[in-house]
Amino acid sequence: MAQQVAYRAPSDFYAVEDLLTDVQRSARDTVRRFVDREVLPHIGRWWLEGHFPTELVPKLGELGVLGANLPEEYGCAGLDNIAYGLLMQELERGDSGIRSFASVQGALVMYPIYAYGSEDQRRHYLPKLARGELVGCFGLTEPTAGSDPAAMNTRARKTARGWVLSGTKMWITNGSIAHLAIVWARDEAGTVRGFIVPTDTPGFSAHDIHTKVSMRASVTSELVLDEVEIPDDLALPGAVGLGKALGCLTQARYGIAWGAVGAAVACFEEALSYARDRVAFGRPIAATQIVQERLVDMLTKITTSQLVAYRLGQLKDAGRMHYAQVSLAKRHNVRAALEVAREARQVLGAYGITTEYHAMRHAANLESVDTYEGTYDIHTLILGREITGHEAFGRA
């Protein structure tokens, strides 16, 4: 008789668990319990109400989730990148909106302050952001410049005392709940620069987008900067050039590649359990070939995504990760999770369209995740350029 595959959880078919260190497992399990206790019982209602649970922010800080892969000397957890990825996975098992909050805070706000900020800026902001006492947002996209941020219109004018920023940023996660915004703008010489903008500065306003049918448990806003004046010491000294903004995206995309696995696992485990219990035509639907094929396709996508994320984490920890490798992981894992969520929704039949089950909420959220941080198409073109040497963005 053939030997059975030995695995602990149905979604860990290749025993990735065995590759993890005790620290990685323990960090993951802490956040897993938090999500089970504090997110899953409420998320369906929050999502329907379009509510982001700000009360969870200090708790995420206490757990060490915010900027968890940044150094301890700045009040962060100093975890390795696989442990960090596992935290993103567990948060997104709850909801993509909760993971988005943490991604933006850690990878798009804390990372640029850490990587491009002065020592004073690091010491002032990072510990407060890590504890969740301050919330940040990241303003790169504009109403007419999304996939092509080089086309941005936001301007930074140098004055004797500092900088004056003017422009509009669109689709900004955490926008209206943020205390500070990392804003990218072109100076008068045409160079893109990054700035820390306190959101109570005169001329700054944030306006929430309320018509979303995706990512509903997340704040998404338009930022208006109307002659916003900031002092010199709020410019990020190392954030000079568009490449620096793109470098932040690499950090966030890394976490998203892991997070997508969490959403997919939530959908797969729910569909598997439902299929075993649900009886149609006198037998469990799990005993039908079509449902089995759906479940096998889901498991294959999850297993591939887990291995891609894990290896990417090893490369990142070794300082060998290239942004095109991150593009492959983000593109593959998010699209795979979206397909898993849609398949899971099918298995659940009519029940699958409600928020009592997770699949439809995850599928709707993953439509955003497939678009933000570089659309599926943009990552295709980044990878195409990398392997052929030819750029195919069709730039005018």
Question: Could you list the active site residues?
Answer: 373
Question: Tokens in use for 154?
Answer: 């936001």
Residue 158 pairs with which residues in a beta bridge? 163
Position among 139, 262, 313, 352 found at the interface with ligand FAD (CB under 6 A): 139
Least distance CB 38 / ligand TGC (angstroms): 20
Least CB distance to ligand TGC at residue 362 (A): 15
Tokens of 341: 């969520």
Q: Which two tokens stand for residue 200?
A: 């109570």
Task: Count residues binding ligand TGC (CB under 6 A).
Answer: 24
Q: Using CB positions, name the residue nearest to ligand FAD.
A: 146
Provide the strand spans (E) within the chain. 136-139, 155-158, 162-173, 180-186, 192-198, 204-208, 220-231, 235-240, 279-280, 283-284
Instruction: Kindly state the greatest CA–CA separation across the chain.
Output: 81
Closest approach of ligand FAD to the CB of residue 249, in Å: 8
Decide if residue 242 touches ligand TGC (CB under 6 A): yes
Here the tokens at position 52 are 């982001």
Residue span 154-173 as binding mask against ligand FAD, x where in contact by CB under 6 A, dash where not: -----------------xxx
Q: Got the DSSP string for 187-226? A: -TTS-EEEEEEETTSTTEEEEE----SSSTTS-EEEEEEE
Nearest residue to 315 (alpha-carbon basis) of 89, 65, 115, 85: 85
Q: Which of 35, 79, 152, 252 is in the footprint of ligand TGC by CB under 6 A? A: 252
Q: Is 165 helix (H, G, I), strand (E, B) or coil?
A: strand
How do strand 220-231 and strand 162-173 relate by DSSP bridges? antiparallel
Taking the least distance from each CB to ligand FAD, the nearer of 314 and 375 is 375
- Residue 394, contacted partner among ligand FAD, ligand TGC, none, CB below 5-8 A by kind: ligand FAD
For ligand FAD, which is the closer residue by CB, 168 or 314?
A: 168
Of the pair 147, 292, the CB lying nearest ligand FAD is at 147
> Any contact of residue 142 with ligand TGC (CB under 6 A)?
no
224 forms bridges with which residues in the sheet? 168, 205
Output the six-digit token pair for 215.
């990512």
If one asks whether residue 328 binds ligand TGC (CB under 6 A), the answer comes out as: no
Q: Does residue number 217 form part of the binding site for ligand TGC (CB under 6 A)?
A: no
Contacting ligand TGC (CB under 6 A), which of 141, 199, 333, 365?
141
Q: How far is the CB of 147 from ligand TGC (least distance, A)?
A: 5
Residues in the chain: 396
What's the CA gap between 96 and 365, in Å, rounded?
6
Q: Is 373 in the site for ligand TGC (CB under 6 A)?
A: yes
Chain positions contacting ligand TGC, by CB under 6 A: 100, 103-104, 138, 140-141, 147-150, 173, 242-243, 246-247, 249-250, 252, 323, 372-374, 378, 382
Chain positions contacting ligand FAD, by CB under 6 A: 104, 137-141, 146-147, 171-173, 215, 220, 368, 371-373, 375, 377-378, 381, 393-394
